[in-house]
């Protein structure tokens, strides 16, 4: 299928994520190792998160209703974070990620969020290009530390 045909099979607008989207989103994340998905990010946890953040967690669906791209995000006060962004392999390079990013940033603005951060694997050049083109830049003088609980 050509890139044009693929694009025509996807709705042009993103939508707030619903609990019904979670299985498709988890499937996309599991199939994309560059997203650093953790198995503890299960249906229950994501469902709880959506109760607070469905407006900033966004999906795009194909015309059959299957989720083909998603962003999982959250906020605390005036700061936001994007935890995961994923596009199904057959829909990559079709501007879906850029649309999702723009819609997610708009939803953050509507919440009053003034700064958004995210993490990208050092070797994920496509993600660095996407986020840089969306106005993100590396943080100077900070290190990322994390711990699973």
pLDDT digits (tens, 9 = 90+) for 49-78: 999 999 999 999 998 889 999 999 999 989
Q: With 90 as the cut, is the pLDDT of residue 113 above it?
A: yes
Tokens of 48: 């709880």
The helix (run of H) or strand (run of E) holding residue 125 is helix 125-133
Q: Round to whole Å and give the CA distance between 40 and 2.
A: 36
- Report the alpha-carbon distance of residue 70 to residue 10 in Å, rounded: 13
Q: What does the alpha-carbon distance between residue 109 and residue 93 come to, in Å, rounded to a whole number? A: 26
Share of the chain above pLDDT 70, in %: 95
Stretch 94-106: mean pLDDT, rounded? 90
Beta bridge mates, 115: 79
Instruction: Summarize the confidence of residues 21-46 as an average pLDDT.
Output: 90
Taking residue 137's Cβ as centre, other Cβ atoms within 10 Å add up to 7
């Amino acid at each position: 299928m050509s890139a044009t045909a693929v694009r025509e099979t996807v709705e042009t607008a993103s939508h707030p994520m619903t609990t019904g989207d979670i299985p498709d989103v988890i499937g996309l994340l599991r199939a994309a190792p560059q997203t650093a998905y953790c198995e503890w990010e299960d249906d229950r946890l994501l469902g709880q998160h959506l109760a607070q953040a469905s407006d900033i967690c966004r999906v795009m669906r194909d015309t059959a209703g299957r989720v083909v791209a998603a962003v999982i995000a959250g906020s605390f006060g005036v700061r936001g974070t994007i935890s995961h962004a994923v596009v199904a392999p057959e829909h990559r390079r079709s501007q879906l990620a850029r649309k999702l990013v723009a819609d997610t940033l708009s939803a953050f603005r509507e919440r009053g969020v003034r700064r958004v951060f995210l993490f990208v694997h050092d070797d994920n050049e496509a993600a660095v290009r996407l986020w840089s083109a969306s106005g993100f830049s590396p943080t100077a003088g900070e290190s990322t530390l994390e711990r699973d609980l």
